[in-house]
Amino acid sequence: MSRSARHGSPALERWGRHVARRAKAIVIFWLLFIVVGFAVALGATGTPSLFSRLDSGEIVVAGENQDGRDLLAQGGGSGFSTYTQTLTGVDLSDPAVASAAASAVQSLSAIEHVESAVNPFVVPGGPTTPDALRFVLDGDPASGGFATVVTFDEGNTAEQEAAATDEVDAVFDSLAEDTGATGDQRGGLRALVDRIIEQVKIDGQRGEGIALPVSFLVMVVVFGGFLAAGFPVLGAIASIAGALASLLGLSYLLDLDASVVNVVTVLGLGLCIDYGLLVVSRFREEMRALLQGAPVADATHAQVVAATAATMNRAGRTVIFSALTVAISLSGLLVLQIPFIRAVSVAGVSVVLIALAVALTLIPALCVLGARRLLKRGTETAADVGVFSRLAERVHRMPWVVIAAVSAVLVVMALPALRLELTSSGPELLPVGTPERTFYEDFRAGYPLLAGAEVLLVSRAPVSEVQAWAETAAADRPGVESVDPARELGNGVVTLGFQTGDSGTGEASRALVDSLRSDRAPFDAYVVGQASGIVDFRATVADRALWAAGLVVLATLVLLFLMTGSVVIPIKALVMNVLSLGAALGVTVWIFEDGHLEGLLRFASTGALENTIPLLVLAFGFGLSMDYEVFLLSRIVELHEQGHDTRSAVTLGLQRSGRIITSAALLMVIVFSGFAAGDLLIMKQMGVALVLAIVIDATLVRMLLVPATMSVLGSANWWAPAPLRRLHERWGITE
């Protein structure tokens, strides 16, 4: 006897009847929610918009690198509030140039909210002195180039700094004209961050602009009508509105990186389309089962209510399981002591809950209101024989061959992941040729002492002691091309810069960081730089990764056990997910780390993946893989509970869910392709990796490996120890 029979109408069935009776009110609520959500998130209500509250930059974690940066900031060396102009084609020996440059510094220093301004012509002794050569192109007065650096007050608001920047630009314009410069570039860290945030917004709008119309067209083909296709798209729009509004709220509790917005909104978009597809398809199936070929005009309101109740009891249960698996995989990231990752986790879970709410309320309510039009192509029930059942039968005939072949392919695809390298890019996140990236590349090449060293030692030791050590021992460290003179900043903070020539993230910088940390200087000091940050990031992940993975695995095993009553199926699902995600990560490394497909995907390889990509891909990919596993298993379990043996349950389950899984995967690929079409490197890597994970999982794994392994295991699929069987009989979630 089923639990439904023992305990009466299941809660989800009752919920479906409730939604059916209040469909109009639910739809009106969600339409108002969409309007309010977008208005609040975009600042149309007069409050700060979400995008005005975002930040972007290097992902930092607790550790030596961050401690050193904190000390550096105490000395006034953060560099975030500087704005720099570089001029070329100038005669530095011309007295008129010197006069114009000195006059410009006076004008810049007089601007409100500007703390200081400096160029080589105001340094005592002029542009040929050692201190001034930092501001001269290539350190050579004959090069015809020099830089003017403006530092804003640290306490400025964004509006104050923007106004001051406009006045600074006016002075820079005059300086370029008065010196007869032929080249004029300007930039700063804040400008770079603002450009990255703007690119996030552009990429997000572009991705959603591609995903929504293309997904709609695909669903028109899948459903055979505009109305049915429009329901999941309307749900996706509601999800985006809710995601943006929830992120705005979270921005007051957490520091949100700009890339978090695209990650979670696109996740919500994809999940809503997937869940909408599942719910609408099941509703049509239930209506056809009730009508048994009768004309759609004969459908009664009672039948519509009954179909909605059955849909919620079955597809609703699948959606809840799916949402829980995605939420569990994202919640595992909370264990990691990384603010950015935790923000993604919290924001991602909130968006999953919104997608779940849409699937359990708005989509079924729309189905109720459009029930008759959803069935305009006929009310005949679908055949149990088709493409997917025939595929399952072929797999059943040679399961060991399928298992061996698919497993071999996945292992080969995963091999590049063994040489995974991580990095933390700055300007490299932007496309080649972007003005902000070009400025930084040229600035670092032409003004290495001014741009900052690739690896920095920060200390409170006397500057003479640091310089003495630098002259005797520092230059012999691995990866060092040159050592900058020790500099004393404010508050007794001293820095010693190491030039490695690899922008701070390459092998030379990493080797130097390892050397400086393992063989310490004879005074207390912190090793700072992008390579140092990468070392801390990896250490932080390694310290908590097993806990995070263990919690996700345990929770997933419990959830799938409650769903299936088996301990074999959950373990098998986890093993296949590892293979699937390993393959996706391996191909991602082959593309982005090795530089393949640069022209096709429009990116320039940095020789590594951004350090957050593996974590995000594994978390999101695991959740989405389990999403399709739940879609398939829910049908197989349902059929098995109805008395089908394992082979026929798998065959019929694949036939009845294969079209949904394939369509859902295609739609999710379209959604995440919006990332790949963007220009921001980290988003492109994320998009490509998730597209690969979805394609691999929905084809090789769900269509081939799952039926093959279940065919081999037979009745053993449903095995569980006696105590667990009794536990499932009492607490299991079944029909």
Q: What is the CATH number of the domain that holds 496?
A: 3.30.70
- The CATH number of whichever domain residue 170 belongs to comes to 3.30.70.100
Mean pLDDT for the chain overall: 86
> Does the pLDDT at position 664 exceed 60?
yes
| C-alpha to C-alpha distance for 311 and 14, rounded to whole angstroms | 11
Specify the pLDDT at position 1: 36
Note the pLDDT tens digit of each residue in 365-414. 999 998 888 876 654 455 677 788 899 999 999 999 999 999 999 999 99
Give a yes or no: residue 62 inside a domain.
no
> Given a cut of 60, is residue 204 above it in pLDDT?
yes
- In this structure, is residue 68 part of a structural domain? no
Q: Domains in the chain: how many in total?
A: 4
**Bridge partner residues of 88 (DSSP):** 183
For 282, the enclosing helix (H) or strand (E) is helix 258-291
Please indicate, yes or no, if residue 63 is contained in any of the structural domains.
Answer: no
Q: Is the domain of 374 the same as that of 390?
A: no
Confidence (pLDDT) at 734: 53
* Greatest pairwise CA separation for the chain in angstroms: 99
pLDDT range class, residue 565, cuts 50, 70, 90 = confident
φ and ψ of 122, to 5 deg: -110, 0
Residue 117, pLDDT score: 92
Instruction: Report the pLDDT value the prediction gives residue 44, as an integer from 0 to 100.
Output: 83
Residue 576 has pLDDT above 60, yes or no: yes
Average pLDDT estimate for 730-734: 64
User: What's the CATH code of the domain at 23?
Assistant: 1.20.1640.10
Would residue 512 count as lying in a domain? yes
Which of 505, 531, 557 marks a domain boundary?
Answer: 531
pLDDT surpasses 90 at 529: no
What is the model's pLDDT at position 135?
92
609-610 and 422-423 as β-strands: parallel, antiparallel, unpaired? parallel
The answer, yes or no, to whether residue 586 has pLDDT greater than 50, is yes
Query: Does residue 213 lie within any of the structural domains?
Result: no
Q: Among residues of the chain, what percentage have pLDDT more than 90?
A: 36
**Mean pLDDT of all residues in 672-695:** 88
Both 394 and 404 in one domain: the answer is yes
Q: Looking at the domain assignment, is residue 635 inside a domain? A: yes
- CA nearest neighbour of 341 among 254, 414, 411, 409: 254
Q: Has residue 375 been placed in a domain?
A: yes
Q: What is the pLDDT of residue 732?
A: 64
Average pLDDT over residues 669-689: 87
pLDDT of residue 3: 43
> Which residues touch 576 (CB under 8 Å, ≥6 apart)?
701, 705, 706, 709
Residue 704: Cβ within 10 Å count: 20
pLDDT in tens, 80-130: 678 999 999 999 999 999 999 999 999 999 999 898 899 999 988 888 888
- pLDDT for 148 equals 94
pLDDT digits (tens, 9 = 90+) for 233-245: 888 889 888 888 8
Please tell me whether residues 86 and 162 are part of one structural domain. Answer: yes
| 376 and 460 housed in the same domain | no
pLDDT of residue 111: 94
Instruction: Check: CB of residue 625 under 8 Å from CB of residue 581.
Output: yes
Q: Do residue 228 and residue 364 come from a single domain?
A: yes
Question: Do 362 and 449 share a domain, yes or no?
Answer: no
Per-residue confidence (pLDDT) for residue 393, from 0 to 100: 92
Distances (CA, A) of 169 to 101, 150, 333, 440: 14, 11, 43, 18
CA distance 201 to 206: 9
Q: Which one of 168, 192, 216 terminates a domain?
A: 192
Residue-wise over 191-209: b if at least 16 C-beta within 10 A, else e? bbbbbbbebbeebbeebbe
Q: How far apart are CA 249 and CA 236, in angstroms?
A: 20
- In a domain? residue 57: no
Residue 609 · residue 422 · CB < 8 Å: yes
Same domain as 121, residue 8: no
Structural contact between residues 350 and 262, judged by C-beta atoms closer than 8 angstroms: no
- Residue 642, classified by CB atoms within 10 Å of its CB into exposed (0-12), middle (13-18) or buried (19+), is exposed
Helix (H, G, I), strand (E, B) or coil at 524: coil
487, 545: one domain: no
pLDDT digits (tens, 9 = 90+) for 311-355: 999 889 889 988 988 888 888 888 888 888 888 888 888 889 999
DSSP 447: -
Same domain, 99 and 175: yes
End residue of a domain, out of 321, 355, 382? 382
Q: Are residues 129 and 247 in the same domain?
A: no
694: containing domain: 386-422+532-735
40 and 98 belong to one structural domain: no
pLDDT single digits (tens) 163-179:
999 999 999 999 999 99
Q: Which amino acid is at 665?
A: A
Q: Which of 337, 275, 283 is nearest to 305 (CA)?
A: 283
What number is the average pLDDT over the span 574-595? 94
> Which DSSP state fits 520?
-
* pLDDT tens by residue, 372-381: 888 766 544 5
pLDDT for the residue 448: 82
pLDDT above 90 for 668: no
Is this model's pTM higher than 0.85 or not? no
Task: Give the pLDDT score at 383.
Answer: 63
CA distance 449 to 458: 16
Model pLDDT, residue 118: 93
Length of the chain: 735
Based on the domain organization, do 557 and 642 belong to the same domain? Answer: yes
